[in-house]
Chain A
Amino acid sequence: MKKLIRMLLSAAMVLSLAACGTNTTPSNSGGAASGTPGNSSAGAQTGSDWPTKTITLLCGYSAGGSSDLGCRYLAEALKEDLGVPVIVENVPGSGSWLAWNQLLQNTDPDGYTFALVNLSALFGHYDETNPRETTIDDFELLANHVMDYQVLAIRSNETRFSDYASLVEYAKTNPLVLASATSSITSGDATVAKMLEQDHGCQLTVIPVDGASDATTMFLAGETDILSANVGDVMDAEDNGYKPIVIFAPERSEYLPDVPTSKETGVDEYVSFSARGYAYMPGVDPAIVARMQEALTKAFENEDYQKNMSAMGAQLELYTGDEYKQLLNDQLDTRLRLWGVSK
């Protein structure tokens, strides 16, 4: 008898997890509803009856980050159009390469798994310190949804320079310090610094840090002089005592209407961004690819999706097919030139 009680107690620790779980169930209305496979008709899948079961979206970043949130909003929107559940699976690690390797090497090209891709997939091959075998041509690109342009920011109380032109002028004779997550071609932040060195002869020291938030920390603490970041990172700039002075985009951002583009400043016409889109592995039935592209286009126009994404500060720009490829290749050429890497 006594023994039995002890057993129950040891099980109780496990049980109470379930108990606490029950409490939270009612509020589980998040995007990731569990897989109820639809009318799973076995046999060969052709484009016409696709999809019939749960679709998995591989996200190479951990839950809670902006990439993950974007995926979850998209999953909601896709579900409406495709009529099957879309679940987000987080496979974080090695800057999303774990997820991409899983997609390209260990997943059936049946159209039921696709992944979030960003510019790291594009530049990884050209990274001198740790080159990847995969190039962007190894993906079946579906559609780009998010564009996040690079900006440069200075502290509000900065006295040495006040805008992009004076910053460039100042840095030609006075070395400046900035922080960036990794100091190689894969990083948009570091590439801006490289551009300033290559094209304007500025003197810059780049300190490699772990992530965008670390770069912001050092900048706010006055350790670094300028901040190279994306629009999404500087949404709360004013509250925290700094201001973006230039955006490297063809047009001004709706989120930062007062910040001039590089072209407007007359210094250069540099454009740099990070982009988030979605891709299949090669070998997926063309009919399914076409259907998926259509679904991604519809999801892009979904009102809730647009609203949620802009609340996050994500600039939405849709590119599909050859347009998408062109966009990426243009950015690739610019960066390869700046870093002096041959294609």
Chain B
Amino acid sequence: MEKKRIHQDVFVGFFCLALCLLIYVLNNGLPADAAMMPKLLDGLLVVLSVLIIYHGLRKSRLSAEGQGKSLTWDDWKIPVITWGLVVVYVGLFYLIGYLPATGIMLVLLMRFMKRTSWPVILGIDVVYLLIMYFVFAKMLNVNIDNLGALGRLL
């Protein structure tokens, strides 16, 4: 019994086409000279998107095994959570400043990535913060603590 389904590349291809439309719209109001290159490239992208869809459709005709593994939520969950943590971390810069945010993030992310030894985690955390503070804030004058109230206290 062969189960057939539409290969994911077909959807990817249509998403690419949507992207092409967006690029076209963004460049539409510009004078011809300025818009020429982006529109030319956009045309190329359209051709490539159609090719992606075409190949996706051809792969759809193959049996489920022939298509290879399709992506599931399980493939995305952990990486996306990781990314979300990083975004929250960067958001914290505004609230509490780089150094405190980093102190918290390092511990959380290490725990998240299944590290268990507290001495090592805290050791890396403290050493990192000290180095960053002395090298960047004191020596190189990078304004790392001008964001956020707590950052100013450091």
Contacts and interface: CB of A to CB of B under 8 A. Distances in A.
Interface of A: 3-4, 7, 10-11, 14-15, 17-18, 21, 24-25, 28, 32, 34, 87, 89
Contacts of B128: 11, 14
Contacts of B123: 7
B138 A34 contact: yes
Nearest to B140: A21
Could you tell me the dominant secondary structure of chain A's interface residues?
helix
The range of chain B's interface size is 10 to 19
Interface stretch (B42-50, B70-78, B94-102, B129-137): B129-137
Contacts of B135: 17-18, 21
Given A14-B131, A17-B131, A18-B134, A28 B120 contact: no
Given A4-B120, A21-B135, A87 B127 contact: no
Nearest to B141: A32
B125 to A, nearest CB: 11
Interface of B: 117, 120, 123-124, 127-128, 131, 134-135, 137-141, 143
B127 A11 contact: yes
A14 B120 CA distance: 16
Contacts of B124: 7, 10-11
Most chain A Cβ neighbours within 10 Å, of B124, B134, B139? B139
A14 B143 contact: no
A273 to B, nearest CB: 30
A143 to B, nearest CB: 25
Contacts of A18: 131, 134-135
Nearest to A32: B141
Ranked 6 nearest A-B pairs via Cβ: A18-B131, A21-B135, A32-B141, A21-B139, A7-B120, A14-B131
